[in-house]
């Protein structure tokens, strides 16, 4: 069944909508998808059941809602159980404003993902743009078919998991092959490898293909050939540390405004946002946008403006050479910049349960681990946390898992989670919320998470529950341990920025720090890592845009010395 085209299923009792939508779907997508059209919902349900039995992939399920069809929303709600990974689309008719609030409520409760308006003319690109985005998200979640990189490893090994995650988030077409299967063993034998250290990474796009056995991040980066360190004597106008939303936004503005820019990223573009399956509150994306897509577009945008990248290299030190700032990387190289933007975000707080730490990547995940959700199909899954990230993760996992339990330490979610998320969680059939609960212990079977001990952390009874997945989203700590003491931080380790009220003399002489500037001149901090930041994608992007406007002033006030100017190619 693998080679058959995925299905786009349209069902509606409204003859006009059926005729228009069917024609549009067949014309645009008929070559790549099997378009199935049903005139009533009972028939459509039977078709979806059949498709499930035959293990056919269903990419989109489209139902209608309006005066001529009142059953589409209920159909879409029930379609989820049959094909949880399919994107569900409600088609409505322009001008039927009475129906919109019902449709938006259904989407907020997770009964469908997307609202589109029925095209009233041919070549309605807004309609098709929405469908193509939904199909793109569906494909991303399924894994991309073209194998630019082959990864042969163990299904639940932490290193394998982290490489799958990084490749996926960097949009590198990857095929994973389980070394424990006959096909995986055959593949290793074809490569001439007998019982190699795992994982094995094969770059199928090089000629001849490059095989890397248990490679480090740096070996992978070098084999890709895209991220060689810059010449040692080069001076950038700005070195951005971190390619999350704030760092990428800084790079877009810096390079588009003529500043030579290097972005150093230790893992994958997108930072935390890259792990979010759907960001619904980023302005301008009324249908929501996946974090991976948003980040990838910013990455490409900055690249097109001339930003250079150094991937899979961790920044480990920051120093000063006169007016230049130096950034030391994990491969031993040092890059120099006239200014540095710290955009390193935050790390998740760990659970203090020793027996679970050894299971990270083998059933225990920090963060939403979007790429891991499909592997939870039919499993019992637990999510720990009371914030929006935990709520979103629980909803996403519920698309795949048999049952998801959200463990919340406190007696309520009201203060920590958005109302719309609480409503969606309560309305989702296979999600339960357990208040005054925490993970107190865990156990493994065959090296993987098998169960948890759950109970009230303040005492009382405990319960042993079976669990195949545990997703921990309990807050974060800033990634600032690599910074020197000259960069002042608050008690929690977040970087302090902006004028220092204690520096009255500096303020009086007009030499006070710029907003977003740290206590080390020429070094700025943006996004989640900044003390007092609002932890949102939009505010991180706002910081990234703002810092570059400020940087222009800083660079103008601190022109390059002549010798350094020669190596940067810039004019002082």
Q: Which residues bind to ligand FAD, rule: CB under 6 A?
A: 241-247, 264-267, 271-273, 275-276, 279-281, 314-315, 343-346, 367-368, 389, 392, 479, 482, 527-529, 535-538, 540
Sign of CA dihedral 234, 239, 243, 249: negative
In the complex with ligand FAD, which residue's Cβ is closer, 73 or 529? Answer: 529
Nearest distance from C-beta of residue 241 to ligand FAD, angstroms? 5
H/E stretch holding 525 reads strand 523-525
Nearest distance from C-beta of residue 480 to ligand FAD, angstroms? 9
Nearest distance from C-beta of residue 379 to ligand FAD, angstroms? 19
Nearest distance from C-beta of residue 277 to ligand FAD, angstroms? 8
Tokens coding 63: 């139902």
Is residue 201 exposed (0-12), middle (13-18) or buried (19+ Cβ within 10 Å)?
buried
In the complex with ligand FAD, which residue's Cβ is closer, 39 or 492? Answer: 492
Beta strands in 12-109 (DSSP E): 34-38, 58-64, 87-92
CB-based contact 371:165 (threshold 8 Å): yes
Nearest distance from C-beta of residue 433 to ligand FAD, angstroms? 18
CB-based contact 344:478 (threshold 8 Å): yes
Nearest distance from C-beta of residue 311 to ligand FAD, angstroms? 9
In the complex with ligand FAD, which residue's Cβ is closer, 90 or 264? Answer: 264
CB-based contact 436:409 (threshold 8 Å): yes
Alpha-carbon gap, residue 432 to 537, rounded angstroms? 28
In the complex with ligand FAD, which residue's Cβ is closer, 379 or 480? Answer: 480
The three-point CA angle 188-364-220 to 5° equals 40
Give the residue from 563, 526, 565 showing the smallest Cα distance to 237: 565
CB-based contact 147:199 (threshold 8 Å): no
Alpha-carbon gap, residue 495 to 489, rounded angstroms? 4
**Integer distance in angstroms from the first to the last C-alpha of the chain?**
64
Is residue 5 exposed (0-12), middle (13-18) or buried (19+ Cβ within 10 Å)?
middle
Nearest distance from C-beta of residue 479 to ligand FAD, angstroms? 4
In the complex with ligand FAD, which residue's Cβ is closer, 250 or 514? Answer: 250
Give the residue from 264, 220, 223 showing the smallest Cα distance to 244: 264
Indicate the DSSP class of residue 437. Answer: -
In the complex with ligand FAD, which residue's Cβ is closer, 90 or 540? Answer: 540
Nearest distance from C-beta of residue 94 to ligand FAD, angstroms? 29
Rg of the chain over all Cα atoms, to the nearest angstrom? 26
CB-based contact 90:65 (threshold 8 Å): yes
Give the residue from 256, 320, 269, 298 showing the smallest Cα distance to 548: 256
Nearest distance from C-beta of residue 265 to ligand FAD, angstroms? 5
In the complex with ligand FAD, which residue's Cβ is closer, 66 or 469? Answer: 469
Alpha-carbon gap, residue 13 to 39, rounded angstroms? 5
Nearest distance from C-beta of residue 244 to ligand FAD, angstroms? 2
Indicate the DSSP class of residue 275. Answer: G
Nearest distance from C-beta of residue 415 to ligand FAD, angstroms? 18
CA atoms within 13 A on the CB side of 338: 27
Nearest distance from C-beta of residue 205 to ligand FAD, angstroms? 24
Give the residue from 76, 138, 132 showing the smallest Cα distance to 103: 76
In the complex with ligand FAD, which residue's Cβ is closer, 72 or 244? Answer: 244
Nearest distance from C-beta of residue 406 to ligand FAD, angstroms? 14
In the complex with ligand FAD, which residue's Cβ is closer, 110 or 527? Answer: 527
Nearest distance from C-beta of residue 462 to ligand FAD, angstroms? 28
CB-based contact 326:335 (threshold 8 Å): yes
The three-point CA angle 32-301-85 to 5° equals 35
CB-based contact 484:378 (threshold 8 Å): no
- Locate tokens 């070098």: which residue? 222
Give the residue from 162, 542, 178 showing the smallest Cα distance to 365: 162
In the complex with ligand FAD, which residue's Cβ is closer, 66 or 544? Answer: 544
In the complex with ligand FAD, which residue's Cβ is closer, 229 or 367? Answer: 367
CB-based contact 347:529 (threshold 8 Å): no
Alpha-carbon gap, residue 425 to 385, rounded angstroms? 13
Q: What are phi and psi of 298, to 5 degrees?
A: -65, -40
In the complex with ligand FAD, which residue's Cβ is closer, 89 or 346? Answer: 346
In the complex with ligand FAD, which residue's Cβ is closer, 9 or 273? Answer: 273
CB-based contact 368:396 (threshold 8 Å): yes
In the complex with ligand FAD, which residue's Cβ is closer, 211 or 388? Answer: 388
């Amino acid at each position: 069944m693998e080679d058959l085209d995925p299905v786009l299923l349209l069902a509606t009792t409204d003859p006009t909508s059926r005729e228009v939508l069917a024609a549009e779907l067949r014309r645009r997508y008929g070559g790549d998808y099997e378009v199935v059209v049903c005139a009533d919902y009972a028939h459509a349900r039977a078709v979806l059941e059949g498709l499930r039995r035959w293990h056919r992939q269903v990419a989109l399920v489209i139902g209608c809602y309006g005066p001529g069809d009142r059953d589409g929303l209920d159909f879409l709600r029930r379609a989820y159980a049959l094909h949880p990974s399919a994107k569900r689309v409600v088609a409505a008719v322009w001008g039927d404003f009475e129906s919109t609030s019902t449709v938006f409520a259904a989407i907020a409760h997770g009964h469908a993902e997307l609202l589109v308006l029925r095209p009233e003319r041919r070549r309605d690109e807004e309609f098709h743009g929405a469908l193509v985005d939904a199909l793109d998200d569906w494909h991303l979640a399924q894994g991309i078919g073209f194998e630019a990189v082959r990864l042969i490893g163990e299904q639940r090994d932490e290193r394998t998991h982290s490489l799958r995650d990084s490749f996926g988030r960097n949009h590198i077409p990857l095929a994973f092959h389980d070394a424990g299967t006959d096909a995986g063993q055959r593949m290793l034998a074809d490569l001439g490898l007998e019982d190699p250290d795992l994982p094995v990474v094969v770059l199928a796009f090089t000629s001849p293909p490059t095989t890397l056995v248990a490679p480090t991040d740096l070996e992978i980066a070098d084999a890709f050939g895209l991220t060689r360190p810059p010449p040692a004597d080069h001076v950038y106008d700005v070195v951005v540390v971190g390619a999350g939303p704030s760092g990428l936004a800084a790079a877009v503005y810096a390079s588009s405004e003529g500043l030579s820019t290097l972005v150093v990223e230790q893992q994958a573009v997108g930072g935390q946002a890259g792990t979010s399956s759907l960001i619904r509150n980023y302005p301008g994306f009324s249908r929501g946008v996946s974090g991976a897509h948003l980040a990838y577009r910013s990455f490409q945008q900055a690249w097109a403006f001339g930003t250079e990248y150094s991937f899979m290299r961790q920044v480990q030190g920051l120093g000063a050479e006169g007016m230049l700032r130096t950034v030391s990387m994990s491969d031993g190289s040092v890059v120099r910049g006239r200014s540095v933007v710290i955009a390193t975000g935050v790390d998740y707080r760990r659970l203090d349960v020793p027996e679970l730490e050894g299971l990270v990547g083998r059933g225990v995940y920090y963060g939403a681990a979007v790429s891991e959700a499909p592997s939870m199909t039919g499993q019992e899954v637990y999510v720990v946390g009371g914030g929006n990230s935990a709520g979103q993760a629980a909803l996403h996992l519920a698309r795949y898992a048999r049952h998801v339990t959200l463990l919340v330490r406190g007696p309520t979610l009201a203060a920590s989670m958005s109302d719309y998320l609480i409503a969606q969680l309560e309305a989702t059939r296979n999600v339960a919320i357990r208040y005054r609960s925490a993970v107190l212990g865990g156990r493994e079977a065959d090296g993987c998470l098998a169960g948890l001990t759950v109970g009230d952390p303040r005492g009382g009874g405990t319960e042993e529950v079976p669990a195949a997945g545990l997703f921990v989203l309990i807050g974060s700590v800033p990634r600032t341990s690599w910074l020197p003491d000259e960069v002042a931080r608050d008690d929690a380790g977040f970087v302090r920025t902006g004028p220092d009220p204690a520096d009255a003399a500096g303020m009086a002489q007009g030499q006070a720090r710029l907003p977003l500037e740290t206590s080390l001149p020429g070094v700025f901090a943006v996004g989640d890592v900044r003390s007092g930041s609002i932890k949102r994608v939009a505010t991180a992007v706002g910081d990234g845009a703002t810092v570059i406007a400020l940087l222009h002033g800083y660079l103008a006030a601190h022109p390059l010395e002549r010798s350094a100017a020669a190596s940067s190619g810039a004019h002082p």
